Structure 1
């Protein structure tokens, strides 16, 4: 099994409409239902792109990495690449739905930081003032996208990227999750570390390995107050849960896939982090 693939989960690749060859695509819940009459949306799926939705009306439910979220008016949904999710119930929902690629948000900056946060929130509510501004931002992006599709002469990829960034900044929670430090250098260290973990967590389980790769002393990562070891353990645990819930791999194969020397080490790690053995956790969450 290739890294990132889960046999029980539909892998979704970014594929915009032929006449809309941009890194962002605007849809709606109504269009999602129309395109998905077989209701594949209710089964686990794992996109390699970002999915963002703004619920303007209706009530429903959404599941992201084993957490069930109620959906109602003024809910924002953000599914980042690699997250296993399903639209549990969106039959009654209306509102804009946008897809965009991993590389679209300009970097560096708060939008790119939020886009790269593997543990960032999947759903949250906005107050009315923030919501109204968010809908205006989404409408602006929708109009520009429609104009770019209908008239290539007007198409501007940088403009679409900036309008998307404006929308993301507007919908972010009032107090977005930030590393608990005000030091810009420590922010840089953390984001470099986070990116390295995402690339190597199935092979390297020690913070000092990442420190060496990034050119830091181990104490540089541990002294930032960012919980370097905890972050690494939680990333490994998340992928372990995905493997257990969405594949039939025995614990020994899960251990191998995640870079553990043997099944016993994997079981000890999982038990310590999740509070359950891999087998018991799988029984509770199989197919979620």
Structure 2
């Protein structure tokens, strides 16, 4: 979301691609570190600098034999692209849908077949609600006990949701995540990349704490509007947000480029192909102080 809303390129790499120092748990992986940059090649260069194994992080991966920058510059073109406006799980703003669909369809100019399809990830909301709450409980319960007055209400709610969880809920959520990941792996045997909107709405006024509704649907909590990205997180897939156009009022829109688990290099190569086709490099990031 930050990259899409700012008109820059951002990437969520595969689990372990960028090492970190574990704090609240060795195997926490809903959140990963990743690069943001003005274009796909700069992003790949930064990911090269960030990548590599690290003994303190047992999940960390060694740097690949071929640099991410080389993979990005390889010109490797995807043969079959899936586009989904909503992954079957979320509403989406009509203008965002139209802009991202038009961008995805331009992969045809690189000779790719573009079809509307997505994996079955219908359990994403239930699964993420539980696993995020659990993560908040193990990582932030101490803050709730000692600094409650400094926490915003949404965070207090999320920690308390985690502290109420049962082992049965965790068992179900972990099984759902295993299923989602297996279906992702199967899906990417047919499609090289999956494209969706990065966010379901354009950038919104800073006074709004979060998106409460979209296209007539009201959300139950403060994170549900992010389902289109957290479904990808749950399925362990790398994803990249690429600037793909502007709304009628001049606000930037990002398209999410997703690949199979560990296919970071293919995601970068595909994103570079689309970046070249779209020809928007240099038009972003925008200066927020200038009226568009």
Question: TM-score under structure 1 normalisation?
Answer: 0.25
Question: TM-score under structure 2 normalisation?
Answer: 0.24
Larger Rg: 1
The structure whose residues are more often helix, as a share, is 1
